[in-house]
Amino acid sequence: MQWLYLYFPSLQLDSLLHQQAYNQACVLVHKNEVVQTNPEARQLGIKIGTGLAQAALLCAQLKVIAYESKQEQRLLAQLAQRLYQTSATLYLDPPQGLLLQTSDMLRLYKGLAPYWQQLQQPLMERGLHYHYASAHSPLAAQVLARAGNDRLLTNQDEATRLLSQLPIHRAGLDHKLSLQLERLGLNTLGQAQALPRSALGQRLGQTLVTFLQQLETSSAPSWPAYQPPERFRQRLELLYEIEHSTALRFPLKRLLSDLEAFLAPRQLRVAGLSLGLEYQEHASERLHIGCSDGEYRAESWLALSMLRLEQLKLQAPIIAVSLKTKGQMPWAPLSAQLFEPPGGKLTAGQLISRLQSKLGDHAVQQVYLQDDHRPERSFYQGLPQSHYQSQQATRALRPSLLFTLPQALNHKPDHRWCILSGPERIQSGWWDNVSICRDYFIARNPIGQVCWLFRTPREEWFLHGYFS
């Protein structure tokens, strides 16, 4: 069984800096000690373990951010969710490590190199710095990756040789245990491996013996493998405070790309998104962004989101954004014409969604039919529903423009009018005391317009609409 370990020494800092170009020194600090640095800070001599006061002396313009272990664990889980599409079996090793079982995936990708190429793509998209190593056991891969090995090994003998050459202080052992081994003259891991295990256990304790045994054990870790959530939910902290809603395009694009990567393999779409905006010293705000037909593509959701955000006036600077889905449902592509290219057109649902995002949900109305023969009461207006919900329209020919109140004609249509069809008797409404009795005609008036006329029992004529 083969294993691959990915180690992200600056996961939280890389995720923050990737939001936009930042060319100044930046560090993450925990308990007044630097725990993560960017390349500009390292060029100035700021290293992991440097005190905050010393780092400030080395760079007066140093940007300092507080380290949050929970946030880094959330970022690790989000990365695992993205890599789950490429690797079926992986394990979280918080806060900065991922362990992947590669044996089964090599058969699918036909080799380690194509598999590794697929894994690298989401890592590069996020601008992450990482170390990696493959080995015959989970612990061996972890130790080599954390030591900065950065090699893909398929030969167990080669992995064993690299482990034996590893300095004891870089083997991942407890600092106190490493000092004890160095005082005994054991400077490399191979020297410790060559000694009898029983003697090492009596002298230094069972922890070291267990560690050496796990280096050779290829079995899976004791903790459960990662399982992706059933619904998408993600939060992104911002490096800078955003004061204009249009500046949310880049962080939103990143969240929506992850959403598409989550929905597409599952053949799912969502009817709406709940976008959370976290303000500086103000209560958070949530925006609902809907799509009539349901959608999964990041590009479509980004266009709808920006239409909604263009009209939003921010209460205060934004420090974080979150995204979760609403109305998750199966997705099936619409059947298209055989000889017609699919690009360049909007479906009815996409058009409705864009209008609602631009004008507001209640500003867009749809006409619905109802069971009533009276023309004035045969339809009503309401909020648009799913494009897939069809209605049975009447087979009779009806005008596209219907007057709210029929217009009385001053005189009976004469020879200048041309009756095209009719009469059509409509007599209805006796049950609600709004009864009608009309004979409808389709006629062309003297100026060529096609009209819808009706005649009452009193021989009164009215104009009720025009055909397009």
Q: What is the DSSP string of 257-322?
A: HHHHHHHGGGTEEEEEEEEEEEETTS--EEEEEEEEEEE--HHHHHHHHHHHHTTPPPSS-EEEEE
Rg (CA), the chain: 35
pLDDT at 390: 47
Count of other CB atoms within 10 angstroms of residue 246:
10
**In whole angstroms, what is the distance from residue 430 CA to residue 438 CA?**
13
Contact status, residue 428 vs residue 436, Cβ threshold 8 Å: yes
Sheet holding 131-135, edge to edge: 90-93, 97-101, 3-7, 131-135
Is the pLDDT reported for residue 441 higher than 90?
Answer: yes
Write out pLDDT tens, residues 165-200.
Answer: 999 999 989 889 999 999 989 999 999 989 888 888
Per-residue pLDDT at 201:
86
Mean pLDDT calculated for residue range 425-441 = 85
Residue range 228-247: mean pLDDT, rounded: 87
CB count in 10 Å sphere of residue 434:
11
For residues 131 and 8, give the distance between their C-alpha atoms in angstroms, rounded to a whole number: 7
Residue type, 451: C
User: What confidence tier does 98 reach under pLDDT thresholds 50, 70, 90?
Assistant: very high
- CA separation for the pair 95, 30 (Å, rounded): 14
Residue 21 has pLDDT above 70, yes or no: no
pLDDT class for 394, splitting at 50, 70, 90?
low
Average pLDDT value for residue range 56-79: 92
pLDDT one-digit tens code per residue, 330-341:
876 555 555 555
* Mean pLDDT estimate for the chain: 86
- Looking at the predicted structure, is the pLDDT value of residue 268 above 60? yes
**Which range is least confidently modeled, 188-192, 295-299, 331-335, 438-442?**
331-335
Q: What is the rounded average pLDDT of the residues 67-80?
A: 92
pLDDT score of 128:
92
Q: Cis bond leading into 95, ω under 30°?
A: yes
To 10 degrees, what angle do helices 206-216 and 175-183 make?
100
pLDDT of residue 20: 64
Q: What is the pLDDT of residue 342?
A: 55
The pLDDT of residue 389 is above 50 = no
Tell me the C-alpha to C-alpha distance, in Å, between residue 304 and each of 143, 291, 300, 363, 446: 46, 8, 6, 16, 47
Smallest Cα–Cα separation from 192: which of 174, 218, 155, 166? 166
Q: Look at 292 and 111; give whichever has higher pLDDT.
A: 111
Average pLDDT score over residue span 28-34: 93
Amino acid type, 317: P
Q: What is the pLDDT of residue 202?
A: 87
Angle, nearest 10°, between helix axes 298-309 and 249-263? 140
pLDDT higher than 70, residue 343: no
